[in-house]
Every structure is written in structure tokens, then in C-alpha cells.
Amino acid sequence: MPGHRSFKDVIERDYYNTIFDALSDQVECCSDRLDLSTRRVEAPEYAELSDIDIEAVYVCDKGGLAIEFDVIVSAEITVSKHYGSNVETDEAEQWFSVTCSGELEDGLQKFKIGGISPYSRVRFEKEGRLTDTFVPVISKGSLDDEATAFLEAYYPDALKEPMALPVREVAARMGLAIREASLSQYFTVFGMMVFGDSPVLCFDHDAQSYKEMDVKRGTILVDPDVFFLRNLGCWNNTVIHECFHWHRHRKHYELTKMYKPDDALITCRVDEKARPKPAERKWRDCDWIEWQANSVAPRILMPKDMTLVKIDEFRRIRREVMACPCREGHRLSQRRCFFPYSKTAPLRHFRIIAAKTHRLFPVGNAEGL
């Protein structure tokens, strides 16, 4: 089904007749509540739905597998009225919002129409909105909120006191399994989130060739060399990166399966070589998804409020170090042991928080953290 590339296409393909029938009943029984007057027919006595076009679908994430969405429909309605012994007929156009709900798992399940109303643009312009391809709409200013929502759902204790997040336990609470596998020959792919039962190509370093490995849905694959060639923090960041994909991007991959049912492998990778496209080019869904996971994962490992608590503690330690230079060597290692992170994203996040809140030093002396 190569022609279907969005949720709107799926709705047109599978639910056009259902929506038409529901809208037809609404027009016939409630035509007196609609403004269907035309130049030829004022205050029509009779109205009948003749055709509809699905113009757009606005989707809201309701958590878990649930979604709520408005199907925006332009309707062509035949109206008529008696003028003496004559009957005047005309065509009127009316736009409607058909509010629907359902669950995404191996297709759209439990589809239900909850209401029909004249079209209004105010719905789904706030929190929880998804694009037509089920990519979450996340602004740069709401990244910390995304991290907080993730921790509230899976590990709220991390929002109560500073701690090194136990990423294995977080994955377990999400129902995810973690397996180790070499995902690339030259260590270019750190991790992978498998959204459907499928064979995955893994590199056999002994045989110097790729081999298939059967992997179950909901499995995080992590290259074992991440820990040995990088550090524990990189391993933690990789796992949380993939956990966030499962938390916020599973619906996107469920939609992919709707129009590509024969695709056996639906994965999302943490690739060291991945780079966002130039600003002048339009970002693809995969670019936005990776940007979101890359941006939120460090904030999950180091939630803002708890990080500020530790920053204040490190500020106190720094004053003590300045009074006693012999303790200088313990500062950076102490911080890194508390929040095990990689040397890139979470460290950068730490410095940004410090600079924005003016908790420590000027940006030029950020290394002094």
C-alpha cells in the first residue's frame, strides 16, 4: 500500500463510509441547527448529505496507546424548500469536525465517533498534539517538561531528590527488555529500539560478517562496546534515548505498520554519525524524532530541579576547594560519579542549566564546574 503515507490516508481508506454515514444522520436530524441557506434557498426545509472530502486530521496523544483526533470534513449538502407549488434545490457547503478516538496497536483499534460539530480551529493546538504522521509536536521550550512527564510516569523518585537514575529499572518498569548486540562493524551505531518482532542484522566480529538475530517487540539493543569504548554515562544515555522513543514515538511506528504491513523491521537507532539536515532543507519525520530523543534523554538523566540542587552543592564544594586547593582533583570526578553521563550531551545540559540560572560561573568558565 505504497500510496498511504499519513493518518489522514488511513482514515480515508478505512473509515470514509463510517464517517459519511454518521455525518449523514447528523445533517438529516439536525439541519435546522446548521446555517445551510444559499442564494437560491433560504432557510431550507430539507437537507441531505451528498458528498464529503476529508481535508485534515488533527491528532492528540492521550497517553499509552490511546489517541483522540478530529477529522476535518468539507461536506456538500443538497438543500431544498417549497415555494408555493415549486421546490427549489441548491447545494450548500459546510465544514465539520468529527471527533473520534481509538487505540493504536497493530492498526487502529476501538475506533469510535464521539461527536460531530461545526469546524473550529481551536482544538488540539495545545499540549499533546501530534502531526499527521504521529510525530509529537515538541517545542524547544518544553523539553524539560517532556523529561518531567517521563519521570512522573516511570520513576517519580528522581524528581524528589538528586540521584543517579537506575536506567535498567526504568526500562523494566516500561516493560522493555535490554539485550546486547554488535549493531555495526565500526561502532557507528550505539543502540536500537525494536518496535515489532523482527530479525535484526548484527555484526559478528569473529566471522567479520552480519548475521540475523530474532528480536522481540519492545527490546532495546545496545552495543556492548558502548561501555568499554566510551563510559557508563554513554550507555545510560543510549538506553534512556531508546526508552523515550518507546514512550513518545511508538505511535509513529504503529502508523508506519498501517501502510507498510509487510515491513518486518521497524527500528530507531542511536547513530553516532547521524546529523540533522541543513536548515534550508525540510526535516523528515526521522530527523524530528531523533532531535527530540537526543534533546530529552539528558534532561531525563539530569532533571532540571534536581540538577540545580546539585549545582548549589557543587558551588559550596568549589568554595571549599578554593580554600583548600588539595581537593581540586575531586571536583569533576565527584560530579560525574553522581550523574553518570557521557562527555557530550548531558555535560552540555549541565552547563546550560548552570549558565541560564547563573548558579555558578560565567559561561567562559563553564569548565570550572
Q: Name the pLDDT band for 1 (thresholds 50, 70, 90).
A: very low
The β-bridge partners of 178 are 220
Of the candidates 73, 79, 72, 75, the residue with the CA atom closest to the CA atom of residue 36: 79
The predicted model scores a pTM of: 0.77
pLDDT above 50 for 366: no
pLDDT tens digits, 56-66: 999 999 888 89
Q: Return the minimum-mean-pLDDT range out of 5-19, 248-262, 284-298.
A: 248-262
Instruction: Please write down the HEC assignment for all residues of 52-75.
Output: EEEEEEEEEECCCCEEEEEEEEEE
254: nearest Cα among 102, 65, 69, 16:
65
Q: Is pLDDT larger for residue 67 or for residue 120?
A: 67
pLDDT in tens, 293-343: 999 999 999 998 888 888 887 777 777 766 665 554 555 455 555 555 555
Q: What pLDDT is attached to residue 264?
A: 42
The answer to whether 18 touches 55, Cβ cutoff 8 Å, is no
Burial pattern 192-203, b for ≥16 Cβ within 10 A else e, equals bbbbbebebebb
User: Are 48 and 74 contacting, i.e. CB atoms less than 8 angstroms apart?
Assistant: no
- How big is the CA angle at 285 (ends 113 and 275), to the nearest 5 degrees? 160
Confidence tier at 28 by pLDDT (50, 70, 90): confident
Report the pLDDT averaged over residues 20-26.
Answer: 93
Grid coordinates representing 46? 430539507
Single out the residue of 184, 236, 233 nearest to residue 210, CA to CA: 184
Per-residue pLDDT at 369 exceeds 60: no
**pLDDT by residue (tens digit) across 149-199?**
999 999 999 999 988 899 999 999 999 999 998 888 887 788 889 888 888
Q: Which residues contact 366 (CB under 8 A, 6 or more apart)?
A: 351, 354, 355
Q: What is the model's pLDDT at position 233?
A: 63
> Mapping DSSP to helix (H, G, I), strand (E, B) and coil, where does residue 259 land?
helix
Percent of the chain with pLDDT over 70: 76
